[in-house]
């Protein structure tokens, strides 16, 4: 028998397609808002698996939902329906504007479904000329060819041409720019209520409201990409509820399964009617294991006390981060809603978010970036106060070190 070779970061380079460049730390276990690596070092998790593990790691209720379903049936495909999927769709309809639900496995797939539905809907109702999609610069909607094309970051489409056509990009939070390009040819406007990957930029309420008015005026479908903002992240079950603006189509993924892959596209009955049998599909969509876990996640997150807890944590966290910003000067802006926060880096630190993320690992805190100029925090929605405080202490150690290394560098330079 061959001895089992140790699993290390080196193996990544040997066997993985290099679309990522992870640090050498390999977490092996998590509980609540703490994770442990192979060496048993403990970290406070302020990353939440990129806004996914909304109830922390191995939440006891999610664990038993998964185990219970795992003992019953794992997969059926859409050849037959299943109880967890119907239960989840019903609950999503009760809790939101939705009247119809389509299940997928990732945010990109939910957006793919939304964009295809918008195209089909316009085609069926108005004809093929009504096909233009308006999207925003710096937007992120996923990594399929259609969703990177709709996304507003050219670095994700370069080299993948030819791209799907009929997509226009305008600056975010600029209603006049939308007004200038929207027309009877527009089938949809797709927008993140808070731009996530683009740097944690909240939508201006007047902008979001204005999009609703413009879409109504031009019979265009308004799609909210709530893949990152959905399921309690902003302190509302869905961010649209806080804006008081109801979309026609909404996509939800990341936190929906609390760490189990699942996504959904929500819409109204009249729009859903433009898809008929065979229009779209997904082998795994509505998988019973995923839906069982999502049902439990939604049951917990939709409780008013949990959502109020997100808002309360938001205040404590932003206050503490603003204190750190003024003491150390590494951040110059704290942005975001609920527990989706961005620390904008000051002049001197711009472009160096990843450096700070690596220092965070050394100090025992998992952080995220949102572009090169923003440190992003997306902790569990139920993170205990003590973990929040401990994580903040560790961030402070990062900042203290960062400032010290800068000043010694300055001295060396004379
Ligand atoms: C993460 C994200 C996506 C893509 O989700 P995947 O599950 O990675 O496909 C789409 N839209 C937004 C706003 C996101 O944050």
Q: Return the best residue to mutate from 47, 138, 197 for the ligand 1 pocket (most ligand atoms within 8 A of CB).
A: 197
Pairing of strands 132-136, 42-45: unpaired
Beta bridge partners of 136: 170
Q: Which stretches within 224-350 are classed as H helix? A: 239-243, 269-272, 288-301, 304-328
- The pLDDT score that the predictor gives to residue 414 is 45
CB-based burial, 328-355: b 16+ in 10 Å, e otherwise: bbbbeebbbbbbbbbbbbeeebeebbeb
Q: What is the pLDDT of residues 312-361, one digit of tens each?
A: 999 999 999 999 999 999 999 999 999 999 999 999 999 999 999 999 99
Centre of ligand 1 from the C-alpha of residue 401, in Å: 33
Indicate which atom in ligand 1 lies nearest the CA of residue 142: 4
Average pLDDT over residues 205-215: 98
Q: Residue 269: is its pLDDT beyond 60?
A: yes
For residues 380 and 33, the answer to whether their CB atoms sit within 8 Å is: yes
Pocket probe for ligand 1: among 108, 110, 259, the residue whose CB has the most ligand atoms within 8 Å is 108
How far, in Å, is the centroid of ligand 1 from the Cα of 111? 8
Q: Which atom of ligand 1 is nearest the CA belonging to 109?
A: 9
What local confidence, expressed as pLDDT, does residue 38 receive? 97
Instruction: Reply yes or no on whether the pLDDT at 398 is more than 80.
Output: yes
Ligand 1 pocket member 374 (CB < 6 A): no
For residue 220, what are its two tokens?
Answer: 């265009």
CA 338 to chain centre: 13
Region of 277 please: left (phi>0), alpha (psi -120 to 50) or beta: beta
pLDDT averaged over every residue in the chain: 96
Q: Band of the pLDDT at 6, cuts 50, 70, 90?
A: confident
Asked if pLDDT for residue 13 goes beyond 80, the answer is: yes
Query: Which residue's CA is minimally distant from atom 6 of ligand 1?
Result: 107
Average pLDDT over residues 187-211: 98
| Residue 2 structure tokens | 């061959």
The pLDDT tens digits for 109-135 are 999 999 999 999 999 999 999 999 999
Rg (CA), the chain: 22
Residue 372, phi then psi, degrees to nearest 5? -75, -15
Minimum-distance ligand 1 atom for the alpha carbon of 106: 7
Backbone angles phi and psi of 267, in degrees to 5: -155, -175
Per-residue pLDDT for 202 more than 80? yes
What local confidence, expressed as pLDDT, does residue 406 receive? Answer: 83
| Cα–Cα distance for residue pair 256/268, rounded to 1 Å | 20
> How many angstroms separate the alpha carbon of residue 141 from the centre of ligand 1?
5
Whether 1 has a pLDDT exceeding 60, the answer reads no
Average pLDDT over residues 391-413: 87
Instruction: Decide: 140 and 197 in contact? Cβ < 8 Å.
Output: yes
């Amino acid at each position: 028998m061959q001895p089992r070779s140790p699993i290390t970061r080196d193996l990544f380079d040997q066997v993985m397609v290099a679309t990522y460049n992870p640090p050498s730390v390999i977490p092996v276990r998590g509980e609540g808002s703490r994770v442990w690596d192979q060496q048993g070092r403990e970290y406070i998790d302020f990353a939440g698996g990129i806004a996914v593990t909304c109830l922390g790691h191995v939440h006891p209720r999610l664990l038993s939902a998964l185990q219970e379903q795992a003992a019953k049936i794992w997969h059926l495909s859409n050849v037959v329906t299943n109880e967890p999927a119907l239960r989840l769709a019903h609950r999503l309809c009760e809790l939101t504007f939705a009247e119809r639900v389509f299940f997928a496995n990732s945010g990109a797939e939910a957006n793919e479904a939304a964009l295809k539905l918008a195209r089909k809907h316009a085609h069926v109702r108005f004809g093929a000329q009504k096909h233009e999609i308006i999207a925003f610069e710096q937007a992120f909607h996923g990594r399929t060819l259609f969703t990177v094309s709709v996304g507003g970051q050219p670095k994700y489409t370069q080299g993948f041409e030819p791209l799907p056509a009929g997509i226009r990009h305008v600056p975010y939070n600029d209603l006049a720019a939308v007004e200038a390009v929207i027309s009877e040819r527009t089938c949809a406007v797709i927008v993140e209520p808070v731009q996530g990957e683009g740097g944690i930029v909240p939508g201006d309420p007047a902008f979001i409201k204005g999009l609703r008015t413009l879409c109504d005026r031009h019979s265009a479908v308004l799609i909210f990409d709530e893949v990152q903002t959905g399921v309690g992240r902003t302190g509302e079950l869905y961010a649209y509820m806080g804006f008081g603006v109801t979309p026609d189509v909404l996509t939800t993924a990341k936190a929906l399964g609390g760490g189990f892959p699942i996504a959904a596209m929500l819409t109204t009955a009249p729009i859903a009617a433009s898809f008929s049998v065979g229009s779209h599909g997904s082998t795994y969509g509505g998988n019973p294991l995923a839906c069982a876990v999502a049902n439990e996640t939604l049951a917990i997150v939709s409780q008013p006390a949990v959502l109020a807890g997100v808002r309360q944590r938001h205040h404590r966290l932003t206050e503490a981060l603003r204190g750190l910003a003024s003491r150390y000067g590494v951040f110059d802006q704290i942005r975001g809603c609920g527990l989706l926060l961005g620390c904008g880096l000051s002049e001197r630190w711009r472009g160096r978010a990843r450096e700070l993320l690596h220092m965070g690992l050394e100090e025992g805190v998992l952080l995220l970036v949102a572009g090169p100029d923003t440190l992003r925090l997306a902790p569990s929605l139920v993170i205990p106060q003590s973990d929040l405080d401990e994580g903040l202490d560790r961030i402070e150690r990062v900042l203290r070190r960062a400032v010290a290394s800068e000043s010694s560098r300055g001295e060396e330079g004379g």
